[in-house]
Structure 1
C-alpha cells in the first residue's frame, strides 16, 4: 500500500514561499481592517513597512500573522485561491519561520 505524502512535509521552493508571502503582504496592505491590526501587533509604523520588509524574518512574520487567526487566514485563502497548508509550508521555508532556524539564533 502506498502512503499518501504529508502535504506539510512536501518541500516548497524558497522562491514560491517568498512569492506567497509577498502576495500575503500585498493583500494585507490593501485591507483597511487588516493593516491597522498588523501594524498594531507588530509595532511597525506605516511608513516603515518597506524598510521592515527587507529584514530577514519579516515575510515569515506576515505569514505568522495570518496563521495566528483562522478567520484572517481563511479570508486571505478564499480571496486568493490559496490552500491554507501552502501558507504553513511557506512559513517553514522562509527565514525566521523554521523552528530549527529559530533555535540557531
Structure 2
C-alpha cells in the first residue's frame, strides 16, 4: 500500500459514505463537518484519514463499505496506516 493508493482507497470510502443516507449524518454529527467543509476537505489526506478512522470504529461499517467497494476487509485499515496520523504507535 502506497500513500497514493491509500488516498485513492479513502476517496472511494468517502464517496461510499456520502452516498449512504443512513451513515453520512452520523459521520457529520460526530465530526461536526458540514457539506461545504466535506467538499473542501475531500482532497486533504488528514481528513481522508478521519473518514477511515470513523469507518473503522464499527466492523459492520467496514464490512458494508468493503463489500460495496469490492475491497478486502483489511484494506481500509491498511490505507489508514499510510495516511497522516495512522502510523502504528510503539510504546517501547
TM over 0.5: yes
Looking at structure 2, the residues matched to 16 and 57 of structure 1 have their Cα atoms a distance apart, in angstroms, of 15
Q: Among residues 26, 41, 44, which one is paired with 1:37 in the alignment?
A: 26
- Say whether the 8 Å CA contact 1:52–1:58 is kept in structure 2: yes
In the alignment, what sits opposite 1:76?
A: 65
Q: Flag structure 2 segments of 5+ consecutive residues without an equivalent.
A: none
Q: How far 1:93 moved relative to its partner?
A: 0.3
Q: Flag structure 1 segments of 5+ consecutive residues without an equivalent.
A: 1-11, 101-105
Larger C-alpha radius of gyration, 1 or 2?
1
Q: Let me know the Cα RMSD of the aligned residues.
A: 1.7
- Say whether the 8 Å CA contact 2:11–2:42 is kept in structure 1: no
Q: Among residues 41, 46, 63, which one is paired with 2:35 in the alignment?
A: 46
- Say whether the 8 Å CA contact 1:56–1:96 is kept in structure 2: no
